[in-house]
Amino acid sequence: MKGGNRKDKKGILGRYGLIVSLLMLFAVMIIFSAGKIVFTSEGKKWREVGEKETVIRDRVILPKRGNIYTYDGKLLATTEPLFSIYMDFWADGIEKDTLSKYVGDLSLELAKKFPDRTAAQYRNVIMSGWKMREGEEEKIRDNEARGVDKRVPIRSRYVKIIRGDISYVDLKEIRTFPFWNQRSNRSGLIAEERNARKKPFGNLATRTVGNVYKDLEKGGASGLELKYDSLLRGIPGVKFRQKIQGKWMDVVEKPAEEGWDIITTIDADIQDIAERSLREKLTETEAESGTAIIMEVKSGEIKGIVNLDRMSNGEYGEGNPNAFSYMNEPGSTFKTVTTMVALDDGVVTPTDSFYVGSGLFQYNKRWVRDHYWRRGQDRGYLTVTEGMQVSSNIVMSKIVLKGYEDNPTKFVEGIDRIGLRKQLQWDVPLQGIEGTSSVRFPDDKVNYWSKTTLPWMSFGYESKIPPIYMLMFYNGIANGGRMIKPFIARQFIEAGKVVKNTEAEVVNPMMCKETTLQQIHEMLVGVVKEGTARVVASDYFTIAGKTGTAQIASGGGYGGYYVSFCGYFPAEEPMYTVFVGLRKPKGVPSGGGMAGMVFKNIAEQTYIRKVQLSVAHCPVDSTLQKNPPLKNGNWKHNRTLLASLNFPVGESDEAADWVKMQQDSIAYHPQALTLTGALVPDVRGMGARDALYLLEKSGLKVNLTGSGKVVSQSFPHDQRLVKGTTISITLR
């Protein structure tokens, strides 16, 4: 027995040794294979394959493009994220049975939320994506049988489900939909983010603010967006996607740096005043286009700038940057330049007179005509001051012939001395000759100097000057002779800190002598008080300015008129300079009656809003209601406010939570608002806070435009309420 036991034990030990030897051999093979993977080119290959399956490298993080604001912080342009919605039909956890079970409910929710497709169409798109996967799987199995690489074709992996891009709010909502309310590796839901540009004020100053390309990575396409694109766009970051426990995660290697914000000089109130005033006159006269620019005299800040072109549908919208680029002969607004040069050179004095007769004067076989020449009225002699007031072409012609006929170069040098031929760059980028004055010079080989160029230049022909230059010139008069360049970009902000403040560039510290400046100022006041711009005179303050009416060169001749008015107010202590121009208005062209009336509307409305009046200028009018208006809204808040101000309140329903506020000369009278869960609430007359609260509480999503109180809502208050829909409200 003992011998047998030893024999058995020996056999067991032998088998055990064999097993150990095999295990050690297997371990050596593993170590060898691991070393081969780590240290050989084959290992590099397999690491790359593994990384492709678990890591997607060098994905760009788009930076947030900087915002553009008005001078007081209202958003003119901002960036918001939008999402393209796809399904990944090769997601690890997606199952056909579960998809088939919930695709009907998912399709119904999608059709309700995004009604550009029916539920049946959504179902077809989703199930077609799954069928594409099944077809590819069959191909892969065939490939495996033949020993071919089994890569998944990209075309069948991602299918776009929702046609348009959606907001983050909508993204959060669709993640609650059936089937999509799971983890992304089970639902296949992929949200591809991109940045989009939004203008909360709509088309307000849109041509000046500019546009970006649809592909935001390409940057700005026009306006401030293009001029300061390198600052606004920011610096992209880098991330990679890594698969962890079956779920793709974003890992940031280098964060993106947001673009700088720009604070402009634009005043939304003045901009709105200018746009409405210009649009009304363009509509009335059926003009082709129009421009209005409002500049703060001392600072050089452009507070409002409007460029309106007539579109194909007959409406007026922001088109070309005409304020900077419209190159036309300015007409009679240039007479102020002629007079300034001649007075400064001592060629004339304001009281020197010239014979104008019946308004016809021939020079070198070419007729100079005054606007009244057809009447046959003999006006005899007109002084320089009177010539400015009645806008006499003959007086201007005879002034320059008296002083510069033998030396026309001296006249153009006088224009140079003022600064009107200086080439400048603007916040709105332009190309070529646009945006630069084109004033002829006697030795200029490009622009031919004829025997009649000098007199015709004197009253605004044979030169091309864009509106922004005329504005700059007249502002120089208002600013005590100091010509400064108008600008729009006021401050640049990086990460919440102001990194650059902009001040106006001084083009000319003194355009002319002080005596000349005072004489010109008095003439411009006279033009409005007694001359061609009498209709522009205001009952509230004195205006100084000059009208302009110029024929438009076209095809070797002339066709249509460009009417303009440029001036400043209040004349005694100028605050704002304004240029208004209308291209090809219908009817009898009139710089005063057309462009001048736009100027007057802008000036008076701006003055009322922006000028601080003393108590002495604000006597109580007993015929007017003294109590300030109160917005509709929460009655508890309004009642507290009225009590704190000791304002009288009429009978009210104390149980009412929401009220409409009415008032008369005696008291405020709250009227209870009827609110039901079935109808859209009436939020007209409410402030933004109350309106948003009521609408969102009702289950609506809100798109808000403007500021002040609600003046309109896209769904009427008696319409049946559909929760989840978006309502637009406009505040003013």
Query: CA-CA distances (angstroms) from residue 620 to 194, 263, 370, 530, 623?
Result: 57, 39, 49, 33, 9
Residue 559 belongs to some domain of the structure:
yes
- 238 and 289 in a single domain? The answer is no
Q: What is the structure's pLDDT at 486?
A: 96
Three-point CA angle 312, 315, 316, nearest 5°: 105
Q: Does residue 177 sit in the same domain as residue 225? A: yes
Q: Report if residue 480 sits inside a domain.
A: yes
- Give 352-421 as a DSSP string: -EEE-TTTEEEETTEEEE-TTGGGT----EEEHHHHHHHT-HHHHHHHHHHHHSS-HHHHHHHHHHHTTT
Q: Do 197 and 144 share a domain, yes or no?
A: yes
Low-confidence ranges of the chain (pLDDT < 50): 1, 154-155, 623
State residue 434's pLDDT score.
62
Q: Which residues of 294-313 are buried (b: 16+ CB within 10 A; e: fewer)?
A: bbbbebbbbbbbbbbbbeee
Name the nearest CA neighbour of 576 among 297, 306, 299. Answer: 297
190 part of a folded domain: yes
Q: Does residue 545 lie in a domain region?
A: yes
Cα–Cα distance measured from residue 141 to residue 148, given in angstroms and rounded to the nearest whole number? 9
Per the structure block, which two tokens stand in for 49?
Answer: 């394959």
List, in order, residues 6 or more apart from 559 with CB less than 8 Å away. 551, 552
Q: Which residue has the tokens 């355009």?
A: 511
> Residue 307 and residue 222: Cα distance in Å, rounded?
14
Q: Could you tell me if residue 666 is inside a domain?
A: yes
DSSP state at residue 516: H
> What pLDDT score was predicted for residue 714?
86
The reply to whether 576 falls in a domain is: yes
pTM of the model: 0.71
Positive or negative, the CA dihedral 597, 602, 608, 613 is negative
What's the pLDDT score for residue 113?
93
Quick count: other Cβ atoms within 10 Å of Cβ 276?
Answer: 14
Are 395 and 465 found together in one domain?
A: yes
- Please report, for residues 625, 647, 656, 710, the alpha-carbon distance to residue 639 in angstroms, rounded to integers and kept in the order given: 20, 10, 11, 20
Of 576, 417, 414, nearest to 507 by C-alpha is 417
Closest CA to 113 of 46, 45, 167: 167
Q: What pLDDT, on a 0 to 100 scale, did the predictor assign at position 387?
A: 96
CATH number of the domain enclosing 648? 3.30.10.20
User: 502-521: per-residue pLDDT in tens?
Assistant: 999 999 999 999 999 999 99
Residue 404 belongs to domain with CATH number: 3.40.710.10
Which two structure tokens, joined as six digits, stand for 451?
A: 């025997």
Indicate whether 171 belongs to any domain.
yes
Which position has the token pair 């760009």?
A: 60
Closest CA to 301 of 332, 277, 270, 347: 270
Could you say which of 233, 264, 295 is where a domain stops? 264
Q: Are residues 25 and 73 in the same domain?
A: no
702 lies in the same domain as 725? yes
Retrieve residue 76's tokens: 């003119």
Identify the H or E element spanning 81: strand 75-88
Does 272 share its domain with 234? no
438, 455, 339, 447: which is closest to 401 by C-alpha?
455
CATH classification of the domain holding 132: 3.90.1310.10
Cα dihedral 587, 589, 592, 595 sign? positive
* Six-digit token string for 583: 């291209």
Q: What is the pLDDT of residue 657?
A: 84
Rg (CA), the chain: 38
Q: Which of 579, 610, 641 represents a domain boundary (last residue)? A: 610
Q: Are residues 260 and 273 in the same domain?
A: no
Same domain, 542 and 588: yes
Query: Residue 68 sits in which domain range?
Result: 58-264
Which residue, 282, 267, 255, 392, is CA-closest to 335?
A: 392
Say yes or no: 382 and 523 in one domain.
yes
Domain count, the chain: 4
Asked whether residue 236 falls in the same domain as residue 287, the answer is no
Within-domain flag for 625: no
Single out the residue in 610, 645, 672 at which a domain terminates: 610
**Taking a C-beta distance cutoff of 8 angstroms, is the pair 728, 714 a contact?**
yes
Which of 677, 725, 676, 678 minimizes the C-alpha distance to 703? 725
Same domain, yes or no, for 354 and 464?
Answer: yes
